Amino acid sequence: MSHRPSTTAVGLSALIAAAVLDPAFAEGAKPGVGNVTSSGAITGINQFDTALDHGGSFHWTGVQVGASVSRQFTPQLAAGFSLRYDYQDWNWDRPPAFGGRVPWSRLDAPLVGLNLSYAIAPDWRVGFSPSVEWSGESGAKASDSLNYGALLTATRTFSPDLVVGLGVGIFRQIDENKVFPFVVVKWKITDRLRLGNPLQAGPAGGAGLELAYALSDRWEVGGGGSYRSYRFRLKEDGPVPGGIGENRFIPLFARLSYSFDKATRADFYAAGFVNGKLAVSNAGGKEIYSDEYASAPAIGLTLSHRF
């Protein structure tokens, strides 16, 4: 599995995304039967104070910790698993569209995922990545906070510099079914310029696209975007007992990365979350409150290491 920035800082968990599929996993693990690859990453993110369309404002900070391991069992078959924990702390200032009350505060989202990749031909590979996530406000019932589903991918290696494929995500997100297509791409356009997937596809959406340029052996810049949609269960003793919260937006970002060595790197992100919408539904799934925000500035930092 090639080393890529862990963004769950841009969608970042809102980065930050990471549920189950490293876009590079569709290519399989490192060559060599029995080879084991593992990695870990921690991301911090801060969305600055953002005005809501109907008055009031909000901001949040978060952290995400994740790890993955994969093994090449045969020349054709690679398999692995991922673990992730995502935490967000939200703060509000009199949001009138939500009745002047704080709709949610602290969010937790632990996740467990599997990654299976099989070469059906020398240049064709298919992937299957199921995952289970518990996404809810602190104090919400875990049994009512389940997100589960899987990613299916098919990629073709045209050359050592070009891998292209298609994927589809099929998920049950709290009480809503979600199906979305996405593109898998790894294209080394020149020795310094490449196009790839910056995010990890999962329950919140696809992997997005990023254009990156290597300034030197250690420094790299990039920019891209995606679409994110998060649903989470609300606690029973809140303003909407057992309800459902949702945050939808398009993260557009710029990245500056520094590689300490071949295995360790730091990624700094400056982002804008645009066309955003926050919503609250009751326990039966009927939307009762919502408001939009035009643009939310954010920054994030990821430290990652490949073992």
Q: Is residue 32 part of a domain?
A: yes
Question: How far apart are alpha carbons 228 and 16 in whole angstroms?
Answer: 10
The total of structural domains in the chain comes to 1
- Outline where DSSP puts E strands in the chain: 36-51, 57-72, 77-93, 106-121, 124-134, 136-137, 146-159, 162-173, 176-188, 193-196, 209-214, 219-225, 228-233, 244-259, 264-281, 287-306
Tokens of 24: 């590079």
Give the list of residues 6+ apart from residue 186 with CB closer than 8 angstroms, or none.
2, 23, 24, 27, 162, 163, 164, 194, 195, 196, 197
Q: Is residue 6 part of a domain?
A: no
What is the number of alpha carbons within 13 Å of residue 250 lying toward its C-beta?
8
Q: Is residue 15 part of a domain?
A: no
Q: What is the CATH number of the domain that holds 112?
A: 2.40.160
Q: Is residue 4 part of a domain?
A: no
Q: Count CB-CB contacts under 10 A for residue 284.
A: 10
Tell me the pLDDT band of 45, cut-offs 50, 70 and 90.
very high
Q: Is residue 2 part of a domain?
A: no
Over residues 129-154, the mean pLDDT reads 95
* Residue 183, amino acid: V
Give the tens place of pLDDT for each residue, 242-269: 999 999 999 999 999 999 999 999 999 9
Q: Is residue 12 part of a domain?
A: no
Question: How far apart are alpha carbons 132 and 111 in whole angstroms?
Answer: 6
Tokens of 9: 């800082």
Q: Is residue 8 part of a domain?
A: no
CA distances from 70 to 1, 115, 193, 303 (A): 8, 8, 28, 20
Tell me the pLDDT band of 34, cut-offs 50, 70 and 90.
confident
The yes-or-no verdict on residue 241 having pLDDT over 80 is yes
Using an 8 Å Cβ cutoff, are 194 and 187 in contact? yes
Give the tens place of pLDDT for each residue, 163-212: 999 999 999 999 889 999 999 999 999 999 999 998 777 777 778 899 99
pTM (predicted TM-score): 0.85
* Residue 218 lies in domain: 23-306
The yes-or-no verdict on residue 11 having pLDDT over 70 is no
Q: Is residue 104 part of a domain?
A: yes
Question: How far apart are alpha carbons 43 and 55 in whole angstroms?
Answer: 30
Question: How far apart are alpha carbons 230 and 133 in whole angstroms?
Answer: 12
Tokens of 185: 């791409």
CA torsion sign for 114, 149, 106, 14 is: positive
Tokens of 55: 């008055």
